[in-house]
């Protein structure tokens, strides 16, 4: 069925609710201003202003990022660990990443959104990498893709994606998709050889067409040297203050999880700006107590009523159908279930 134009310029469709609470409309005249683009990011970079980025995986977190005025949102394959409960990012599939991206792009329309290409969807050939990147843009709705690694073959993959007209963000330092090769999540660039490789890889990615590079878990002096050498923004995570911008995971910076397993793997570089977990656990404990004590739901949270004449007809139908217990319950709860304060008791 064709959509019908509305006075707000949106499209009303028969399969959509009358009030579009979650998916829009988006007001670009809001205090956060216009959409963030590569042009505006580069203007901020050239002016020496820090770029803010947060990793998010779903609609609510993306909406919060938008309201906070975050410049960039990374839909990371770390969703495999933070959201899905895996021990690494390796199990995440391209289809799952596209699903995460769809949710995030529904929640945030203003930030520049970057989606991770997950392990196993781009390594076989440049054609595979381009196909995966195209899906991330067309189906996931992101503005750019992120690719881990800076060695020569990976740079050629990035060059091919970039030449296909797709913006690419690089990623060097600690590269979680390479965990089977590097033997665990460990910082990078702590020897002269490793530090040179970080800088050299980052420069290679810039030459291949990357629009920005993420530097993960490298010493501050190495990230400063890398940032100084490049003419594109660097986004640091656990890499000191000299980067062009910073990124943290939404759940980590909010103190979202306090399960012992999660607490053990939250990076030491992550500053906790809130303790949301404590608030959540307190609220859930109060909810459980209220349900068990029958304090919830009270009349305040039981708002729906049935008119007296409809209740009378219901009781009659129930009795005629042999549902005597249900009919008796409607009799006993009549005054609470109707708009009237009285029940004549007649059937």
Q: What is the pLDDT of residues 95-116, one digit of tens each?
A: 999 999 999 999 999 999 999 9
Class of domain 28-272 (CATH, top level): alpha beta
What pLDDT does residue 23 have?
A: 55
Q: What angle do CA 158, 214, 223 make, to 5 degrees?
A: 125
Delimit the CATH 3.20.20.60 region(s) of the chain. Answer: 28-272
CA distance 166 to 130: 9
Low-confidence ranges of the chain (pLDDT < 50): 1-16, 18, 20, 24-25, 28-31, 260-261, 336-347
What pLDDT does residue 188 have?
A: 77
CA distance 262 to 173: 23
Tell me phi and psi for residue 67, to 5 degrees: -65, -30
Torsion of CA 256, 262, 264, 267, to 10 degrees: -60
What pLDDT does residue 342 have?
A: 41
Provide the residue count of the chain.
347
What pLDDT does residue 4 have?
A: 35
Active site residues: 216
CA distance 292 to 24: 38
DSSP count for the chain of H helices, then E strands: 15, 10
Strand pairing class (11-12; 51-55) = unpaired
DSSP class of residue 36? Answer: P
Compute the half-sphere exposure of residue 298: CA atoms within 13 Å on the CB side of its CA. Answer: 4
Model confidence pLDDT, tens digit, residues 159-181 = 999 999 999 999 999 886 766 55
Is the previous residue joined to 266 through a cis bond, with omega within 30 degrees of 0?
Answer: no
Torsion of CA 185, 190, 194, 197, to 10 degrees: 90
What pLDDT does residue 174 have?
A: 85
What pLDDT does residue 21 have?
A: 54
What pLDDT does residue 125 have?
A: 97
């Amino acid at each position: 069925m064709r959509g019908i134009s509305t006075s707000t310029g949106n499209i009303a469709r028969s399969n959509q609710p009358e009030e579009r609470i979650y998916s829009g409309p988006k007001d670009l005249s809001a205090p956060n201003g216009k959409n963030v683009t590569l042009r505006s990011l580069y203007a901020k970079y050239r002016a020496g202003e820090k770029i803010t980025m947060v990793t998010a995986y779903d609609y609510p977190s993306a909406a919060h990022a938008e309201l906070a005025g975050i410049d960039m949102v990374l839909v990371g394959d770390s969703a495999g660990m933070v959201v899905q409960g895996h021990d690494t990012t390796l199990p995440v599939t391209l289809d799952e990443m596209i699903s995460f991206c769809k949710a995030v792009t529904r929640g945030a329309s203003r930030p520049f959104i970057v989606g991770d290409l997950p392990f196993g969807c781009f390594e076989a050939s440049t054609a595979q990498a381009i196909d995966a990147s195209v899906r991330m843009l067309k189906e996931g709705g992101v503005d750019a893709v992120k690719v881990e690694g800076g060695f020569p073959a990976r740079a050629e993959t990035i060059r091919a994606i970039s030449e296909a007209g797709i913006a690419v963000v690089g990623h060097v330092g600690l590269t979680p998709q390479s965990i089977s090769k590097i033997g665990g999540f460990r910082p990078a660039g702590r020897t002269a050889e490793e530090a040179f490789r970080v800088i050299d890889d980052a420069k290679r990615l810039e030459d291949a067409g990357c629009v920005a590079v993420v530097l993960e878990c490298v010493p501050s002096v190495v990230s400063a040297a890398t940032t100084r050498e490049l003419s594109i923004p660097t986004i640091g995570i656990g890499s000191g203050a000299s980067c062009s911008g910073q990124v943290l995971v939404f759940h980590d910076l909010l103190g979202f999880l306090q399960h012992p397993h999660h607490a053990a793997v939250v990076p030491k570089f992550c500053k906790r700006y809130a303790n949301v977990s404590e608030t959540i656990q307190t609220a859930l404990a109060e909810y459980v107590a209220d349900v068990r004590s029958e304090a919830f739901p009270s009349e305040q949270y039981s708002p729906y009523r049935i008119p007296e004449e409809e209740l009378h007809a219901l009781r009659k139908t129930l009795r005629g159908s042999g549902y005597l217990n249900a009919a008796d319950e409607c009799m006993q709860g009549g005054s609470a279930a109707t708009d009237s304060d009285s029940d004549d008791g007649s059937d």
